Homo-oligomer: A and B are copies of this chain.
Amino acid sequence: MSIRTLSSREIYRNPWLRLREDQIERSNGTQGIYSVVDKDPCAVIIPIEGDRIYLIEQFRYTIQERSLELPQGGWETEDVVAEELARGELREETGLEAATMTYLGWMWIAYGFTRQKQFVYLATGLTPAGADPDPEEHDLELRTASIAEFEVMLLDGTIRDVCTLGAWGLYRLWKERQRG
């Protein structure tokens, strides 16, 4: 089955997201609505140096809590080169440059109601860059943890961000293949 779009109207738009409501018809003939949040592509970066991983702590307004997560973000434009975006987000959020960016894949974020791609990069060979803070991001705090500590935090719920968990799941699978 597929779903046919009968009509579409934009409900809302700001620099970070667009919401539209579509009238749809399913292949069984029933009609309904489907609302879609469109967002520009983003990147999540796994910065690893030896046994240490770099994390970001910040206040997440949606959940009204400070959160620990992998560096991630987007640039409010569709027109991005994935690695440039990932390098830029790494620099903006952590102040680090990577000698090597390794592309691990991309994920659909929340595609039940959203259309947004997230590119996943491993960043290694890390050195401090000049600071380049985004005004929205001035409250970010850089943290580091050992890989073992990071995995305990994923497991015990200290870190609950699905994008961090998804990127780490992908990294683990990739890493296992490298050894084999």
Which A residues are closer than 8 A to B by beta carbons?
1-3, 11-12, 14, 16-17, 19, 21-22, 24, 26-28, 30, 32-37, 39, 42, 59-63, 67, 72-73, 105-116, 118, 135-136, 138-139, 151, 154-155, 157, 160-163, 165-170, 172-174, 177
A170 adjacent to B165 (CB under 8 Å)? yes
Alpha-carbon distance between A33 and B60 when the two chains are bound, in angstroms: 14
Given the complex, which residues of B lie within 8 Å of A62, measured CB to CB? 34, 36, 111-115
Partner of A154 from B19, B106, B155, B173 at Cβ < 8 Å: B173
Alpha-carbon distance between A16 and B22 when the two chains are bound, in angstroms: 14
Alpha-carbon distance between A105 and B117 when the two chains are bound, in angstroms: 24
Given the complex, which residues of B lie within 8 Å of A19, measured CB to CB? 11-12, 19
Q: Given A154-B170, A166-B166, A173-B154, verify A12-B12 contact (CB < 8 Å).
A: yes
Alpha-carbon distance between A67 and B172 when the two chains are bound, in angstroms: 22
Partner of A174 from B26, B72, B155 at Cβ < 8 Å: B155
A163 adjacent to B106 (CB under 8 Å)? no
Alpha-carbon distance between A87 and B18 when the two chains are bound, in angstroms: 33
Given the complex, which residues of B lie within 8 Å of A26, measured CB to CB? 139
| Nearest residue, chain B, Cβ from A37 | B37
Given the complex, which residues of B lie within 8 Å of A1, measured CB to CB? 59, 138-139
A108 adjacent to B139 (CB under 8 Å)? no
> Can you name 8 extra interface pairs (CB under 8 A) apart from A1-B138, A17-B113, A162-B163?
A1-B139, A2-B59, A3-B59, A39-B113, A110-B116, A165-B167, A165-B169, A169-B170
Given the complex, which residues of B lie within 8 Å of A22, measured CB to CB? 61
Alpha-carbon distance between A177 and B122 when the two chains are bound, in angstroms: 25
Q: List 5 A-B contacts (CB under 8 A).
A: A1-B138, A17-B35, A30-B135, A62-B113, A108-B161
